[in-house]
């Protein structure tokens, strides 16, 4: 999976109300122009409730590390 920048993720999640479920995040991102990289990054996150953009980016970073992306 190609690494996605935190800035790209935050841009697509701008205006979302936290806490938000993984599915809420995906739906919001799709409605706000998420490209395939952002969509895949959100899809690969653990199924849980996220309380801030920092938690979202931390989860994406952890997925990237497990996948071997720097």
pTM beyond 0.85: the answer is yes
- 1 assigned to some structural domain: no
- 63 assigned to some structural domain: yes
* Range(s) of the domain holding residue 56: 6-67
- 34 assigned to some structural domain: yes
Instruction: Domain count for the chain, please give it.
Output: 1
- 56 assigned to some structural domain: yes
- Residues 6 or more apart whose CB falls under 8 angstroms from that of 51 comprise 18, 19
Kindly give the confidence (pLDDT) of every residue in the chain, 70 residues in length, as a single tens digit, with 9 standing for 90 and above.
568 899 999 999 999 999 999 999 999 999 999 999 999 999 999 999 999 999 999 999 998 888 776 5
- 36 assigned to some structural domain: yes
């Amino acid at each position: 999976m190609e690494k996605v920048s935190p800035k790209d993720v935050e841009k697509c999640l701008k205006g979302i109300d936290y806490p938000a479920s993984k599915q809420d995040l995906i739906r919001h991102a799709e409605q706000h122009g998420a490209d395939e990289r952002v969509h895949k990054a959100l899809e690969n996150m653990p199924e849980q409730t996220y309380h801030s953009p920092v938690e979202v980016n931390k989860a994406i970073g952890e997925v990237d590390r497990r996948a071997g992306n720097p």
